[in-house]
Amino acid sequence: MFRNYLKITLRNLWNNKSYSFINIVGLAFGLASCIIILLYVNNELSYDKHHKKADRIARVASFIDFSGSYLELATTSAPMGPTLRNDYTEVEDMVRFRPRGEFLVRSGDINIKESDIIFSDPSVFNVFTIPVIHGNAETALLEPYTLALSRSKALKYFGTEYVVGKTLLLDDDQTFEITAVYEDMPETSHFNFEFLLSMETNADEANNGVWISNNFRTYLLLKEGTDLNAFEENFKSIKKTYIEPQLIQFTGNTLEDFQEAGNSIEYELQPLTDIHLYSDLVAEFEPNGNIKYVFLFSGLAGFILILACINFMNLSTARSVKRAKEVGIRKTLGSVRKQLVTQFFTESILLCLFSFLIALLIVELTLPFFSNLSGTNLISNYFSNTNLILSIAGIVLLTGLLSGSYPAVMLSGFQPIKVLKGVLDKGTSRFRSLLVVFQFSVSLVVIIGLLVINKQLDFIQNQSLGFQKEQTVIIHDAYTLDTNLNVYKEELLKEPEFKNATISSYLPVSGFSMNDQTFWPKGDDPVQGNTSSSQVWRVDTDYIPTLGMEIIEGRNFSEDRGADENTVILNEALANRFGFEEPLGEVITTFTQRPDGSFDTENLLEFTVIGIVKNFHFRSLKENIAPLGLFKGNSRGNVIFKIDSQDAGTALAKLENSWKEMAPGQPFNYSFLDERFDRMYRTENRVSNLVFAFSVLIIIIACLGLFGLSAYSAEQRTKEIGIRKVLGASVSGIVSLVSKDFLKLILISFLIAAPVGYFIMQQWLKEFTYKTNIGFDVFLISGIGIILIASITVSWQSIKAALTNPVKSLKSE
């Protein structure tokens, strides 16, 4: 009997090639996108699960609300980790990481800038699962000036992994001995270090005991059976025992005073496996994923699959007239309904398997493209994970059942005498209409989403930022020019390609220095008074003109050396925070900072306001512009050139040539400010690209379905069209006759989709402080777009039908 079903299925497929094509290809695309999304979701969900003790590891996060600035930090203070380990039995072990920026790593002639480099406690190999392949994990990072490195870096610098005992020169002045080589960390890890430097090297800071400066990422390994929440509550007492004495020492205030003034310090424990998808704090190791996008794409995958299934149902019910006869015959031959249901399910599952095979092919072909779009390295390693295999098998089976369900139930219920006479219910066509409306509503919502995302990204890119990001090149690590730094800048400014240049570590895009400090108007109390935390950016006199910022009151720093030592230019936000009516000439004060990062409350620094700079965005546009002060001073991180030429290539060549002369042996690194700016919205850009790719897919699938249905409808009405033509109907009249019904459905879809899309996107936009509005244009474009696409799809068939010679269509019978 199964063979019989198989034969019928295959011959049906073969005899109706265009329908089969639409069915199988539509489903294949649906399944392929589902698999791709599944791979992506699986990848996102597998972060940090490879650590054997993952369920017992938690990161300490700090939430600090101090004088009007609220910080959610992935870091905490240096003594936090050791104190918790010593004082609480729940803590089995802990490890701290402290980044110190990028390092030049030299071995012989190889001298490369490395960024994945970090100071780490020796316990890193105990807490995390990082297999050490050479060296002793227990003793590896105990001594100062020792380091461990990954296998691939060992190969890169030495050509072999047997490098324990050899040395590397960091920043050309510190020699480190290699004590261990470990396996490369997997990509599904929220940190990825190539070099671990022993924390002992950084002992001054690591052991300084300062609780109110937060620079250390601290991970706790809890004892088995520890309740995370209970422990989190429990260790809050450290605030009283350790932090209050330092508060009193530095500010003269008790914890209570401090909190009464509206400030707070809170700590939270983040389970390791939650970090990648749920944590978005300041100072994350790398931009994390977002559970929302995992949900978004899972949802998209579901919809795509449902749409493909709907196509299947629509086309099979559309062709039910033909299959109905078979049902009738089978029933008169003694088939019971159950057998017919089985037959149709067999058919749909079989078709699904075909589609699945094609889908696998599509996945293989498009995976590099999607890896690129999503920024994650997706691999089709189906067998690495039983959950993955099970979910894919489940999806294929479910798709088969879902797409087969309607035809199976409907067709098997036919009354044999009715179908053999050719009488069919009209109810099915209404159901088909409903499905088409659903398909196009979903497509429209996705299109509206896409348009709004793009509009918002455009809005961000064209937002008046308060500085000019175009034609600005940043030369990194300018300090390596050493005494040549100013010469380099001045020499190049003589070239016609460069208009302006400035030297500073601070830039209004992420990835550069940030420096937060507390200020108050002279004479106020530092805690109870009108305090504000503010960015402290050390810049030179050329900074404001080079970046195209605008001074709206007062003046820029003077060119004279030594002048303006104790002056400050406030941004509008900081001026408003202090509530200065006449800001010029006002004086603000702050603590002196000691070299170890702690504050000296005895000696206060005073700065006179000489100017106000127009607010400029220096963080993501998701956030408000925070208070900021520009101070005249040296910070030698980068040289920034404003290029005055269309030929960026020549300009870059000149920059590089001079660099090589003045900083021999040092790598020349540069980037463009506008690229850096775009990088801040990488997630949004990626989401936009992915949504674009999938919405194209959704539209293709929906149109495939519409194409099939209109073909069917035209076929069914061949006779009617023939008669109408004989009676004198025009081609255009017939085209509109056939197309009209479908376009009506599209219109209904639009009415449903518009409010739904509006609501969803309104929610998404809430994330942004600076946001575009969802205008009329979005709906206009999506509406006209979909009607156009649908019209083309439908008219293809209706024109064909209208042009058919009536003699042909009427002859057969």
Binding stretches for another protein (CB under 8 A): 1, 4, 7-8, 11-12, 15, 325-326, 328-337, 339, 416-417, 420
Token pair of 552, please? 């709206």
**Nearest distance from C-beta of residue 333 to another protein, angstroms:** 5
Looking at beta carbons only, is 417 or 696 nearer to another protein?
417
How far is Cα of residue 789 from the mean position of the Cα atoms in its chain? 31
Contact 697, 297 (CB under 8 A): no
Token pair of 460, please? 């961000």
**Nearest distance from C-beta of residue 423 to another protein, angstroms:** 13
CA 468 – CA 472 distance, rounded (Å)? 8
**Nearest distance from C-beta of residue 21 to another protein, angstroms:** 18
Reduced DSSP (H G I as helix, E B as strand, rest coil) percent helix, strand, coil of the chain, to 5: 50, 20, 30
**Nearest distance from C-beta of residue 320 to another protein, angstroms:** 15
CA 285 – CA 677 distance, rounded (Å)? 19
CA 293 – CA 307 distance, rounded (Å)? 21
**Nearest distance from C-beta of residue 339 to another protein, angstroms:** 7
**Nearest distance from C-beta of residue 329 to another protein, angstroms:** 5
Looking at beta carbons only, is 15 or 769 nearer to another protein?
15
Neighbouring residues of 655: CB distance < 8 A, sequence distance ≥ 6: 473, 475, 492, 641, 668, 670
Looking at beta carbons only, is 339 or 593 nearer to another protein?
339
CA 641 – CA 408 distance, rounded (Å)? 70
Phi/psi of residue 3, nearest 5 degrees:
-60, -40
Looking at beta carbons only, is 2 or 383 nearer to another protein?
2
Q: What is the DSSP secondary structure assignment for residue 185, as one 8-state letter?
A: P
**Nearest distance from C-beta of residue 332 to another protein, angstroms:** 5
CB atoms within 10 A of CB 286: 10
Looking at beta carbons only, is 347 or 540 nearer to another protein?
347
Looking at beta carbons only, is 8 or 787 nearer to another protein?
8
Tell me the sheet residues that pair with 111. 106
Q: Find the helix or strand (DSSP H, E) in which 554 lies.
A: strand 551-554
DSSP SS3 for 257:
helix
Looking at beta carbons only, is 10 or 752 nearer to another protein?
10
Looking at beta carbons only, is 335 or 685 nearer to another protein?
335
**Nearest distance from C-beta of residue 459 to another protein, angstroms:** 57
CA torsion angle 521 525 527 533 (round to 10)? 10
What angle, 0 to 180 degrees and rounded to 10, lies between the N-to-C axes of helices 337-374 and 2-15? 60
Looking at beta carbons only, is 418 or 740 nearer to another protein?
418
Token pair of 634, please? 């040296």
* Distance set, CA 468 to CA 396, 614, 624, 648, 716 (Å): 52, 13, 19, 16, 63
**Nearest distance from C-beta of residue 20 to another protein, angstroms:** 13
Looking at beta carbons only, is 331 or 455 nearer to another protein?
331
Looking at beta carbons only, is 315 or 475 nearer to another protein?
315
Looking at beta carbons only, is 203 or 336 nearer to another protein?
336
Contact 465, 616 (CB under 8 A): yes
Nearest one of 141, 149, 56, 66 to 96, comparing CA atoms: 141
**Nearest distance from C-beta of residue 308 to another protein, angstroms:** 25
**Nearest distance from C-beta of residue 805 to another protein, angstroms:** 23
**Nearest distance from C-beta of residue 355 to another protein, angstroms:** 21
The counts of H helices and E strands in the chain are 27, 25
CA 579 – CA 442 distance, rounded (Å)? 50
CB atoms within 10 A of CB 362: 19
How far is Cα of residue 252 from the mean position of the Cα atoms in its chain? 44
Q: Find the helix or strand (DSSP H, E) in which 465 lies.
A: none
Nearest one of 142, 136, 133, 135 to 183, comparing CA atoms: 133
User: Going by DSSP bridges, is the β-strand pair 146-150/174-182 parallel, antiparallel, or unpaired?
Assistant: parallel
CB atoms within 10 A of CB 752: 16
CA 792 – CA 788 distance, rounded (Å)? 6
CA 299 – CA 539 distance, rounded (Å)? 48
Looking at beta carbons only, is 1 or 726 nearer to another protein?
1
What angle, 0 to 180 degrees and rounded to 10, lies between the N-to-C axes of helices 718-726 and 731-765? 130
Nearest one of 232, 22, 161 to 703, comparing CA atoms: 22
**Nearest distance from C-beta of residue 812 to another protein, angstroms:** 13
Looking at beta carbons only, is 7 or 808 nearer to another protein?
7
Looking at beta carbons only, is 329 or 434 nearer to another protein?
329
Radius of gyration of the chain (CA): 34
DSSP 721-785: HHHHHHTT--HHHHHHHHHHHHHHHHHHHHHHHHHHHHHHHHHHHTT-SS-----HHHHHHHHHH
**Nearest distance from C-beta of residue 359 to another protein, angstroms:** 26
Nearest one of 473, 481, 476, 507 to 649, comparing CA atoms: 473
Looking at beta carbons only, is 13 or 301 nearer to another protein?
13
**Nearest distance from C-beta of residue 312 to another protein, angstroms:** 19
Contact 532, 627 (CB under 8 A): yes
**Nearest distance from C-beta of residue 421 to another protein, angstroms:** 9
Looking at beta carbons only, is 284 or 326 nearer to another protein?
326
Q: Residue for token digits 């890193």?
A: 124
End-to-end CA distance of the chain: 33
**Nearest distance from C-beta of residue 2 to another protein, angstroms:** 10
Looking at beta carbons only, is 335 or 510 nearer to another protein?
335
**Nearest distance from C-beta of residue 334 to another protein, angstroms:** 3
